[in-house]
Chains A and B, each alone.
Chain A
Amino acid sequence: MRFRSRVTVVIAAVLSAFAVKAHVATPRDDLSARDRARVEKVTRPTSDFSKPEAFERMQAGAATTTKRINADIFSHPSANLKFEEQQRFLLGNGLFRKDWVTAPSSTQASDGLGPLFNARACQSCHIKDGRGHAPAGPQEQATSLLVRLSVAPTEEQQKNILAGYLSTVGEPVYGGQLQDFAAAGLPAEGRVRIDHEDVAVALNGGETVHLRKPVLSIDKPGYGPLRPDTMLSARVAPPMIGLGLLEAIDEGDILVQEDPDDADGDGISGRARWVRDETGEWKLGRFGWKGNAATIKQQSADAFSNDMGLSTPLSPDHWGECTEAQAACRAMPHGAQPQLGSEEVPTDLLELVTFYSRNLAVPARRDIDAPAVLAGKKMFYEAGCTGCHTSKYVTRRDATVPALGFQLIWPYTDLLLHDMGEDLADNRPEGMATGREWRTPPLWGIGLTATVSGEATFLHDGRARTLLEAILWHGGEAEAARKAVVEMERAERDNLIRFLESL
């Protein structure tokens, strides 16, 4: 990663064959000169770990929720919404928790599920608006984890991938995702099975941590064997908090951190994931485990289509993810009602779910002045974690939701792609992201994971049961940071975890 300074002119990665426009970091046009100076000062990384920083407790600015800590703590709206916006949030919440049903049904506005689907409701996977989990063993059903499928592209398809019109090439019959449920009369696509191998890691101080390495396979394929060269990648549902604030981070504030050729030699490169948004424009991909969506609306529409088989104006196929080879699936009844709109989830409903998804509040931090937390924070900085887990930003003044504009936020992410090493690799490229690259996930709220869902697990496929396990899986560009944690004294490592738990 490069030192963050907006004075430097940074040209974005000119990606081999495809011409993403060059991004020049110009000063932020949403800020006055005075505000730019204030923002520059307040977002500068701290070097004083003797006391908390100003504004640190309210890690999502005025949108931070200070509600009581319990299992509902990820489910509150941005604290500074107007009453009218609270209503939109609650309507979105109603849709987010709604169980959709297969068509035809008596409740015409709520049908259209499937024919193939992973879940009936958004919240089935985003459990209590928090993190999903991997099945604990091969016999357990995967509920909040799904599996993406793809095969190697042809030359022609590769051109389309480079041009941004295609992200992956789905398995010819099964498509881009395995749906483990289907409407009555249709076989499900199969059952996700995860076995585990034990990986022992010795830590300084004599402690040994046993990691579980997942081995992914598909049982009971419903449409014949999968093509043998199919690439599989498991994904757990990420937590829903703070997404609107991530969307409101200035694009230039992200791009300035890119260092694709590691020019500064710190071992950390980082590159932006470019995707085409719904209008066909190149945009910074901010959401999804590999940064495959530029906007929350896009991400929501993708989830409606792929995970629940529901059409939206952005993904208008009523049959969702049924491929041409799944003709019976495509012929099933759908749930679009002409009087309600031409899709199963028309614009107004998609907008409500998008608004909801933008406004799930990040909780206030706890114990920011506890000596162990401050000591752990120092460890976090010294181990180099902030090389990717960038602490602070001030969001744009012209944020889509005004309440989310000009907030000092602490998400701990650079939203860039990083090579995370062989052990974490899914070896399944997606758009310009390689099979070893992952987008840095935000860390805010991570300390409340178990409070919200006791079963929740970490990393893209939920393999890590604890924060320490998650750290130990880091590799590639994060190898130095991982080593630093392994070599820490036990107390230092404990403090590091205490810091993460305070987020």
Chain B
Amino acid sequence: MKFPVAFAIAAIGATVAHAEEPSAVLATYADIALAGYEDSLETARSLQSAVNALVTQPSKETLAAARQAWLSARVPYQQTEAFRFGNPIVDEWEGRVNAWPLDEGLIDYVDASYGTESDANVFYTINVIANDKISVGGETIDTSRITPELIRSLHEVGGVEANVATGYHAVEFLLWGQDLNGTGPGAGDRPHTDFDTANCTGDRCDRRAQYLTAATDLLVSDLEEMISNWQEGGAARNALTQGDSTVGLSALLTGLGSLSYGELAGERMKLGLLLNDPEEEHDCFSDNTYNSHFYDVQGIRNVYFGRYERIDGKAVEGPSLATLVREKDPALADEMEAKLNTTYEAAKALKARGETVEAYDQMIGEGNAEGNAAVQAVIDGLVDQTRSLERVIAALGVSGVSIEGSDSLDNPDAVFQ
């Protein structure tokens, strides 16, 4: 479908004094993405410093500081998840930094209850930290030096997605260790001496420090790469702002809908409720899941309202989708905003519960009616807001723009209808 952009703008322009230009809305979107990834980088660099302090002088304090730095780093990053699904460049990259869930036995020692073999995953308890070389399928991999390159090569090794060797959750595991409390209270509780070569617990503390350093360094360089995609002239920005803005808006809205309904409400929340399984927890070692969900919800709002509050308190804002929708259909804009607000309130309540009552893995426990309800409320809000989002997509005339084409032979993306 090729027609409506120019048309639609003209139509809006005739009745409204300062019509929101789709291209300007997309520019705001790209600006918020850039700021979000910049903030993610800055907080990842703080994490890098804290990790350096931890491995140089392991103590309760330096470990606590590193954990705090990790938690702070999640705040801007989770808000950038709103840029997934609509942007192929982000989708291709995302697995390196935020893959989840992970079989932690690939990386380090695990509790005996974890089991010692998994048919499926020959790397299940391979323990890179404990071994200078690992042998799999007759092939020997030299792991004597744990470098960013090595752990990159081990990521999803054997084609098993749970072999997460890099990213936020690998770092999280190294800072917290396994959460062995099931759906009971408590997060992972790794001692700082796991990094102390003088009083080492858990063996090979030097190599654990190497791994943690390598994973943090890699996170920093991955974020640097993503920032370049969103700067002026960057590939992700160009893909949105240089083409047809109808396609760009479609990408933006697809991203919001897919994150709301499928990823967050579905795979990250509903599945956990369905199985009452503490393993189905996004930040499962640190028990930070309520925050990671909350900031996802925040990220969706940022994109819709065209406003992002940076970690330094300054705002990035500009022409927004909210205004575009309001110009087109004020009633629909009211509806959409009310639903976003309902979800936001539910997410705030989830966060408050996580901070004051119980951890997320307890909330999804079987028989915990109140905890289950707190999670369900966010799911309901996300599902409901996506229904309005579908109406927004229809009202803006950007439905299915990415797949529909004319039937002409010179359009290779055409499909028979």
Contact = CB atoms under 8 A, between A and B. Distances in A.
A66 B413 contact: yes
A196 B258 CA distance: 47
Contact of A70 (B92, B258, B275): B92
B274 A91 contact: yes
B412 A368 contact: yes
A492 interface: no
A458 interface: no
B180 to A, nearest CB: 11
Interface string B378-417: 0000010010011000000000101110010100111111
* Chain B interface, >50% SS class: loop
B313 interface: no
B403 A62 contact: yes
Contact of A124 (B121, B276, B402, B407): B121
Interface residues of B, number: 55
A208 interface: no
B416 A408 contact: yes
B267 A54 contact: no
A94 B120 contact: no
A47 interface: no
Interface in B241-267: 257-258, 260-263, 265-267
B262 A83 contact: yes
B403 A141 contact: no
B182 interface: yes
Contact of B266 (A42, A87, A141, A454): A87
Contacts of A91: 266-267, 270-271, 274
- The interface centre, meaning the residue of B89, B263, B403 with most chain A CB atoms within 10 A of its CB, is B403
A125 B118 CA distance: 12
A68 B92 contact: yes
Interface in A71-117: 71-72, 79-80, 82-84, 86-91, 93-95, 97-99, 106-110, 117
B400 A72 contact: no
A348 B204 CA distance: 46
Given A108-B366, A109-B276, A62 B120 contact: no
Contacts of A181: 119
Interface residues of A, number: 68
A257 B161 CA distance: 40
A120 B88 contact: no
A455 interface: yes
A94 B272 CA distance: 10
B363 to A, nearest CB: 15
11 contacts: A62-B417, A71-B159, A83-B257, A84-B383, A87-B383, A107-B275, A109-B277, A110-B275, A119-B119, A136-B138, A455-B159
Contact of B120 (A55, A58, A121, A394): A121
B119 A94 contact: no
A84 B274 CA distance: 17
B156 A71 contact: yes
Nearest to B409: A54
Nearest to B416: A408
B122 interface: yes
B277 A110 contact: yes
Given A66-B403, A83-B260, A91-B267, 14 more contacts: A62-B403, A62-B415, A68-B92, A71-B156, A72-B92, A79-B402, A83-B257, A84-B261, A87-B270, A106-B182, A107-B182, A107-B278, A109-B277, A136-B137
B311 interface: no
B279 interface: yes
A86 B403 contact: no
Interface of A is mostly: loop
Contact of A90 (B88, B119, B267, B402): B267
Contacts of B416: 42, 54-55, 61, 394, 407-408
Interface in A131-146: 136-137, 139-141, 143
Contacts of B386: 83-84
A30 to B, nearest CB: 15
A374 to B, nearest CB: 14
Interface string A36-52: 00000010000000001
Given A52-B412, A181-B119, A86 B262 contact: yes
B160 interface: yes
Given A71-B156, A106-B182, A123-B161, A140 B137 contact: yes
A123 B386 CA distance: 29
Contact of B414 (A54, A119, A406): A54
A62 B404 CA distance: 8
B162 interface: yes
Interface string B85-97: 0001101100100
A143 B138 contact: no
Nearest to A128: B159
Contact of A140 (B138, B262, B270, B402): B138
A107 B276 contact: yes
B44 to A, nearest CB: 23
Nearest to A130: B159
Q: Which 6 A-B pairs have the closest CB atoms?
A: A124-B120, A408-B416, A87-B266, A86-B262, A127-B159, A90-B267
Given A71-B156, A120-B119, A55 B414 contact: yes
Interface string B108-136: 00000000001111100000000000000
